[in-house]
Amino acid sequence: MLPPAELDEILTLQLAVAWAGEGGDQDERRLGWWKTDLVSKYGGLALFERLAPRTAVWAAYETAREAARRIDADRRSADASPDQLLSLFHLGFEIDEQLEDRLLDLKHAGAPPHEALPRLAALSDAGGEWQRDAFAKWLAPGPAPKTVQEPSGLRLVGELPATAVARARAVTAALASMPERYPCPHYRDV
């Protein structure tokens, strides 16, 4: 069982990538890896504020995360053994279940996402506006990991990091080049 701090770090990475990967709206174009606009004032957030006022921001992030998870699963399905590919949105059944439980705990605790997950707040320091270069630096504060292109996406080469947090950070760092299409960075767990 992962400690809450590690689950929070992975959730922060997932929610940040889910937000950045959205197409956004006409005023704020983001990466467009999934065709959603859920975490924005006039997008899905406006709907969630009417449907679930107390948890609207959580619901918007959660739904964007689900869109990202589905695109990730679709990309991994191009591999003969998609369940052996460990990506940001697929870290293995046990960890994925722990992340779902932790997300529910945070959502029901009452604090908004940017308070419950302080590193997420760093992305909204500019008023929540999309800043491509700042996001790239947030994703990969150091050098990008070495990767090899495969049909299912970018496979990170080298030894599989020992912890789930280290794996999540590495695959997230591989996103810093922000290509036109979601590259599904992953490790192969054999």
Contact 47, 144 (CB under 8 A): no
| Residue of 180, 188, 186, 178 whose CA lies nearest to 16 | 178
Predicted confidence band at 134 (pLDDT cuts at 50, 70, 90)? confident
- Say what the pLDDT of residue 126 is: 45
Q: Could you give the residue ranges of the DSSP H alpha helices within 110-155?
A: 113-116, 118-121, 132-139
pLDDT of the residue at 65:
97
Cα angle, residue 63 at apex, residues 43 and 31 outer, rounded to 5°: 65
Using CA atoms, how far residue 158 sits from 33, 145, 147, 148, in Å, is 26, 9, 9, 11
Question: Mean pLDDT, to the nearest integer, of 159-170?
Answer: 96
Range with lowest mean pLDDT among 4-18, 100-114, 134-148, 172-186:
134-148
Tell me: the pLDDT tens digits for 32-60? 999 998 888 888 888 999 999 999 999 99
Mean pLDDT over all residues of the chain?
92
Higher pLDDT, 147 or 143: 147
| E-assigned strand segments in 39-161 | 85-87, 147-150, 153-156
State the pLDDT confidence band at 124, using cuts at 50, 70 and 90: low
CA–CA distance, 137 with 184 (Å, rounded to integer): 19
Per-domain residue ranges for the chain? 4-188
> Is the Cβ–Cβ distance between 12 and 107 less than 8 Å?
no
